[in-house]
A and B are shown apart, each in its own frame.
Chain A
Amino acid sequence: MQKAMRAIGVCCVLALTISNLAVTAMAAPTERYIHIKVNDSSKGESVNVNLPLSMAAAILPTVNKGTLHNGHVTIGAADFNGVDVRAILQAIRTAPDNEFVTVKEKDQDVRVAKSNGDLIVHVLDKSKDGEKVDVTIPMKVVDALFSTAKENELDLAAAVRALSDAGDAVLVTVQDATEHVRIWIDSHSSAE
C-alpha cells in the first residue's frame, strides 16, 4: 500500500514538472533579433545594432511622424511610377521558382528571382567600386508588407511580425571596395 502511494506521489510530481516545463516552453517563444553590421575598412569604423523584433513590432505602431503612422508607411504614387506592384507580387507568388528579370549591361548586372519562397534581388555594379547588393526577402514578409488595404501604403508592422515567424536569414548584404553592410535575423542577442 505504502509503495503504491509512493509511486502515485512520484507520478504526480513528474506530471507537474512536465506540465510546468510545457507551459514555460509555450509561454516563452524564442526572441528573434534583427542585426545590422556596417564595417568600413578604409576608415577603421564599425557599427553594430542589435534589436529584438518584438521591440520593433511594439514600437512601430506607436510612431506617428511624417509618412509613418500606426505601423504603416505612406508612399507617394510617383514612387510606384504607375506600376501595379500588387499585381506583380500576386503573379510572382503564384509562379514557380524562376528568374524573373536578368539584366546584363556594361556597368551593371541585375537579377530578380524567386527561390525557396524567397524573393531575391541581386545587383552588381561593375564600376570602379564594384558594389554588390544582395537582398533576400521571404515572400511571407513581402506579402505582409503589401497586406494593407490602401494602395499607397506599406504595412511595416505586419512585415516585422512576419519576419519574427521566418527562420534565420541574411536579408541584405552590400559590399564594395571598402564597405560591408549586413542585415540579418536570428535568435542570438549579439551579432557575434
Chain B
Amino acid sequence: MVLLGKVALGIAGTALAGLGLICSEGMIEVNVVEKQPEVHHVYVLAPAMLVPIATHLVPSRKLGRASAEIRPWMPTIRAALEQLRAGEDLTLVELREPGQHVLVAKSGGSVVVDVTDKDDIVHVSAPIRAIESTVEQVAAASSETQD
C-alpha cells in the first residue's frame, strides 16, 4: 500500500513537473466569436511551448517559402521582439472606425491583438518568447521551397 502510494506520488509529481515545464513559456489564447450569420464561439487555450515544438515537427521543406521570406527580416524582428520584451506594457496601435476597433498591445510579456467588428470578435494573445522561438524555427528551416 505504501509502495503504491509512492508510485502514485512519483507519477503525480512527474506529471506536475511536465505540466509546469510545458506551461513555462506561458499560454496562447485564441478567442473568436462569430456574430453573423450564426453565433459561433471558438476558444483555445494552449501552452505556448507547443507552438515551436509543432513548428519543429513540420518538415523544413514545407516552411521553405516562409523561411526565405522571413530570413532577411530576422535582425529587425529580433531587435523588435527584444525591445518589446524588455519594455513596459503599452498599446502599440489602436484603430477605431465606425463598427470596428483594432488594438495591438503588449501586455504582461505577451502580444495581444483584439479585433472587434460588426461580424466578429477576435482576441489573440501570444507570449513574446513563444513568438521568438517560432519565428527562429521558421527562419532556420530549409529554403528549398515545396509548393
- A interface vs B, CB < 8 Å? 31, 33, 43-52, 54-55, 58-59, 62-64, 189-191
Q: Which of B79, B90, B94 contacts A58 (CB 8 A)?
A: B79
Determine whether B88 belongs to the interface, using a CB cutoff of 8 Å to chain A: yes
The answer to whether A55 and B97 have CB atoms under 8 Å apart is: no
Interface residue B59 (Cβ < 8 Å from any Cβ of A): no
Residues in B56-111 with C-beta less than 8 Å from chain A: 72, 75-76, 78-80, 82-84, 87-98
Contact yes or no, B76 A46, CB < 8 A: no
Q: How far is the CB of B27 from chain A (nearest CB, A)?
A: 24
The answer to whether B97 and A44 have CB atoms under 8 Å apart is yes
B82 in contact with A58 (CB, 8 Å)? yes
Taking a contact as CB atoms under 8 Å apart, the answer to whether A52 and B91 are in contact is: no
Q: Does more than half of chain B's interface fall in helix, strand or loop, or is it mixed?
A: mixed
Partner of B76, one of A50, A51, A62, A189: A62
Indicate which residue in A31, A55, A62 contacts B75 across the interface (CB closer than 8 Å): A62
- The answer to whether A58 and B83 touch across the interface, beta carbons within 8 angstroms, is yes
By a CB distance below 8 angstroms, the chain B residues around A49 are: 92-93
Residues of A within 8 A of B79 (CB): 55, 58-59, 62
Establish whether residues A55 and B94, one from each chain, have CB atoms under 8 Å apart when the complex forms: no
Q: List 8 A-B contacts (CB under 8 A).
A: A45-B95, A46-B96, A47-B95, A48-B91, A48-B93, A50-B90, A189-B91, A191-B91
Most buried by A among B82, B89, B94: B94
Report the minimal beta-carbon distance from A16 to chain B, rounded to whole angstroms. Answer: 26
The complex places the Cα of A51 from the Cα of B87 at a distance, in Å, of 10
Whether the Cβ atoms of B90 and A190 lie closer than 8 Å is yes
Do A52 and B97 touch (CB < 8 A)?
Answer: no
Q: Interface centre among A31, A59, A190, by most B CB within 10 Å?
A: A59
* Complex CA–CA separation, A50 to B78 (angstroms): 19
Does B91 contact A59, Cβ atoms closer than 8 Å? no
Docked pose: A190 CA to B89 CA in angstroms: 10
What is the bound-complex CA distance between A45 and B90, given in angstroms? 21
Instruction: Flag if B96 contacts A45 (CB, 8 Å).
Output: yes
In the bound complex, residues from chain A placing their C-beta under 8 Å from that of B97 are 43-46
- Within the assembled complex, what's the spacing in Å between the Cα atoms of A190 and B91? 7
Residues of B with C-beta under 8 A to A189: 88-91
Q: Which residue of B lies closest to A57 (CB)?
A: B83
Interface contact A48-B94, CB-CB below 8 Å: yes
**CB <8 Å contact, B94 and A63:** no
Q: Is the CB of B82 within 8 A of A46?
A: no
B76 touching A63, Cβ below 8 Å:
yes
Contacts of A44 in B (CB 8 A): 96-98
CB–CB B94/A47 < 8 A: yes
Q: Which residue of A lies closest to B74 (CB)?
A: A62
Chain A residue contacts of B78, Cβ below 8 A = 62
Min CB gap B90→A, angstroms: 4
Contact present for A52 and B96 (CB under 8 Å): no
Contacts of A63 in B (CB 8 A): 76
What residues of chain B lie closer than 8 Å to A31, measured between beta carbons? 87-88
Q: Which residues of B contact A46 (CB under 8 A)?
A: 94-97
Residue of chain A at shortest CB distance from B79? A58
A136–B104 Cα distance when bound, in Å, is 29
A4 to nearest B CB, angstroms?
Answer: 45
